[in-house]
């Protein structure tokens, strides 16, 4: 087997390193939080030593017990955030499948006009892009490909495009180019587009209850403020790396959950909505030509 070239070897080593130790998207905020925890713990150790504070033997065990309870709360919070992310992923997978099914079935209809096929493909791709923009709050119909010069300015762009699609199929049916049976075959995929839109808007418009988020964050702050005092007497300067490590995991779980629970943005943990839109565009072109 030939030796790797000098250009390939560093890339392979870097890829292997990233696979073994993948980067954390929230590392900037996490590192800043851990640095604050470590600095605060060092200050507590200095103050505790200078004042000669002596705590009961059970104080260290209470810090560990509090960490376990807080870990359970953070685990629940993380699970709820991931459920939102996974449901959003399933909805966009459904949008891809419904778009493919609609275009493939439309291409198989012998009576559907060529102009109607082209318009259907344009509207399907535009619907996906418009939904992406709506979920990200990025503007109206003018940002959708092939609609840049449109005079309309609908408040709900995906609904506007869905109505255009429904009107197109109804016009083909009224003209006799689509039969009632063929219309029934297309209808589930057409309705599926708005089902996905409604599901995504439900996720975006319904954050986790404030009580859950507030309880976890209050508990996290109170724990990180109190833990150094509970262990400084027993661990001395070892309290700094111990609390920093605890802070790394506890803060990391909270920051990751905060990142994941909003899956429609542009962060590294968010869904690749542009990639889904490209997949729909390619599938539409393949099915309709």
Per-domain residue ranges for the chain? Answer: 27-84+210-260, 87-207+272-288
pLDDT, one tens digit per residue, over 137-150 is 987 899 999 998 88
Look at 46-60, 159-173, 268-282 and tell me which has the smallest mean pLDDT.
46-60
* C-beta separation of 236 from 45 below 8 A: yes
pLDDT tens digits, 195-253: 999 999 999 999 888 888 888 899 899 999 988 988 888 888 999 999 999 999 999 99
Q: What distances in angstroms separate CA 146 from CA 111, 129, 212, 281, one per listed residue?
A: 25, 11, 44, 13
- DSSP class of residue 23? P
Distance separating alpha carbons of residues 216 and 59, to the nearest angstrom: 22
> What's the CA gap between 162 and 154, in Å, rounded?
12
Residues 168 and 189: beta-carbon distance below 8 Å: no
For 113, the token pair is 């006009």
Instruction: Say how far residue 132 (Cα) sits from the centre of its chain.
Output: 12
pLDDT in tens, 77-136: 889 999 999 999 999 999 999 999 999 999 999 988 899 999 999 999 999 999 999 999
């Amino acid at each position: 087997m030939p030796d790797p070239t000098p250009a390939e070897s560093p890339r392979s080593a870097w890829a292997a390193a990233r696979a073994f130790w993948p980067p954390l998207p929230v590392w900037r905020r996490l590192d800043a939080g851990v640095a604050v925890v470590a600095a605060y713990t060092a200050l507590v150790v200095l103050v505790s030593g200078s004042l000669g504070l002596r705590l009961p033997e059970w104080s260290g065990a209470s810090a560990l017990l509090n960490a376990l309870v807080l870990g359970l709360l953070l685990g629940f919070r993380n699970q709820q955030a991931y459920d939102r992310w996974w449901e959003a992923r399933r909805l966009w997978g459904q949008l891809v499948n419904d778009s493919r099914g609609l275009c493939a079935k439309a291409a198989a209809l012998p009576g559907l006009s060529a102009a109607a096929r082209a318009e259907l493909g344009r509207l399907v791709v535009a619907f996906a892009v418009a939904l992406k923009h709506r979920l990200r709050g990025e503007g109206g119909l003018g940002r959708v490909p092939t609609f840049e010069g449109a005079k309309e300015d609908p408040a709900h762009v995906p609904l506007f495009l869905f109505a255009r699609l429904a009107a197109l199929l109804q016009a083909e049916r009224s003209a006799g180019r689509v039969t009632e049976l063929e219309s029934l075959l297309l209808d589930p995929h057409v309705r599926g587009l708005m089902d996905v839109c409604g599901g995504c808007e439900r996720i975006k418009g319904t954050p986790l209850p404030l009580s859950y988020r507030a309880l976890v964050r209050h508990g996290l702050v109170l724990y990180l403020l109190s833990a150094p005092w509970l262990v400084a007497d027993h661990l001395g300067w070892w309290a700094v790396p111990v609390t920093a490590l605890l802070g790394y995991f506890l803060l990391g779980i909270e920051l990751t959950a905060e990142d994941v629970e909003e899956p429609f943005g542009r962060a590294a943990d968010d869904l690749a909505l542009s990639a889904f839109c490209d997949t729909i565009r390619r599938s539409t072109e393949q099915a309709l030509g």
